[in-house]
Amino acid sequence: MFGKEVTLAAAFPSPLGFTLSASVISGSHARRGLWTTFSGRYESGTPVEVDPDQLPQLESQPGANLVNLQTQRVSPWVVFGLSGGVDLRREARVAISAQLDVQNLFNTPFVYNFGNPFSGTHFGNPRLWSGRLKFVFR
């Protein structure tokens, strides 16, 4: 969790081309129980098989601005995340830590896929804040 991890993967889901996916995670941990993690993810965009007769209907759907219907691919996207935490109480019978996370740090609009006849269009989350308190009973 607190190092550098780089993952690159490629898949060939259709004859229209391939999808490239890459993620990077980097973190640091301090002696006083403070830690931070920064992450990034890139997706080259999945292929979209479009019947030319359906093109006018697809152009009016939500998320059509995030798809290049001429190249028949979802537009590439990059999202970043940031997490931080602190151990509030480590030496006691009950250890307490707090964490704050921000996903999609820059509020980038994106879609995973578009106009799928079986599952529709899947949008990525807008900026998402979350926090938690963790209690460990020893």
CA distance 1 to 37: 8
Measured CA to CA in angstroms, residue 13 lies from 39, 73, 117, 126 at distances of 26, 12, 16, 26
Tokens of 46: 């999945």
pLDDT for res 17: 60
Asked whether the predicted pLDDT for residue 113 surpasses 90, the reply is: no
- Cα distance between residue 112 and residue 75, in whole Å: 9
Would you kindly state where each structural domain of the chain is located, as residue ranges?
4-137
- Average pLDDT along the chain: 82
Question: Which residues have a Cβ under 8 Å from the Cβ of 55 and sit 6 or more positions away?
Answer: 69
Q: How high is the pLDDT of residue 92?
A: 81
Lowest-pLDDT choice from 15-24, 28-37, 54-63, 86-95: 15-24
